């Protein structure tokens, strides 16, 4: 994962070494350089910038979903199972409650 991140940064740096898009006013923040690079250099392929943005958003949502699911699972184990009321639930009902909490 880090190799891909570093290589993307290296390619963007080498592409814009002579002209700074931020100084030219094309982007406002430093973290916009990679989406600007994709739109600037790869827009000749129809739909590629949209696929790139969709992949970034999909990765972020997947990470967020995994984080929320793990937090709810730990809350179920550490908090809810300390009460006798929740210990008697079947696995199917416990799964349903976890899905509702997520």
Over residues 13-59, the pLDDT tens digits come to 899 988 889 889 999 998 888 889 988 888 898 998 889 889 989 99
Average pLDDT taken over every residue of the chain: 89
CA pseudo-torsion sign 34, 38, 39, 40 = positive
* Alpha carbon separation from 71 to 50, 55, 64, 77, 101 (Å, rounded): 31, 24, 11, 10, 10
DSSP secondary structure code for residue 82 in this structure: G
Question: How many other CB atoms sit within 10 Å of the CB of residue 14?
Answer: 9
Report if pTM > 0.75: no
- 24 vs 20: CA distance, rounded Å: 6
Domains of the chain, by residue range, sit at 1-44, 45-101
């Amino acid at each position: 994962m880090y190799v891909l991140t570093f290589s993307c940064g290296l390619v963007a740096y080498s592409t814009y070494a002579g002209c700074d898009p931020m100084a030219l006013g094309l982007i406002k923040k430093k973290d916009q350089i990679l989406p600007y690079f994709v739109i600037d250099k790869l827009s000749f392929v129809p739909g590629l910038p949209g696929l790139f943005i969709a992949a970034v958003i999909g990765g972020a949502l997947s990470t967020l979903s995994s984080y929320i699911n793990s937090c709810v699972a730990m809350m179920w184990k550490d908090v809810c199972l300390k009460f006798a009321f929740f210990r008697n639930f079947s696995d199917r009902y416990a799964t349903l409650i976890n899905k509702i909490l997520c």
